[in-house]
Amino acid sequence: MYVTYILYSDVIHRYYTGQTEDLHRRIEEHNRGKTPGMEKGLPWKIVYTMDFRTRSEAMQLERYIKKRGASRFLDDIKKGDSG
């Protein structure tokens, strides 16, 4: 199982989008500052996840979110949920 995820930092008011096979491990890495450039935003919190059977599916959504922008992507989801 693969997961596409979006994290948010209240400290720097930024989103981070990624994909992984082990979400728990990956979030721990981000919050330990092991991902270059992410230490300024600690702590990161999960704001969105979607599961996939294949890595290529997860990567496809990750690319889409990065192209669209995480904030706009999340706004699109909220609009879809409300009506």
Angstrom distance (rounded) from CA 43 to CA 11: 8
Helix (H) or strand (E) holding 14: strand 14-20
CA distance 69 to 53: 24
pLDDT for 44-73, tens place per residue? 999 999 999 999 999 999 999 999 999 999
pTM over 0.75: yes
Sheet harboring 2-9: ordered strands across? 14-20, 2-9, 44-52
pLDDT at residue number 36:
86
* Host H or E run for residue 6: strand 2-9
Q: Strand, helix or coil at 10?
A: coil
Residue 81 banded pLDDT, cuts 50, 70, 90: low
Domains and CATH numbers, the chain: 2-82 (3.40.1440.10)
**The tokens 């209240």 sit on which residue?**
10
pLDDT tens, residue by residue, 20-42: 999 999 999 999 988 888 999 99
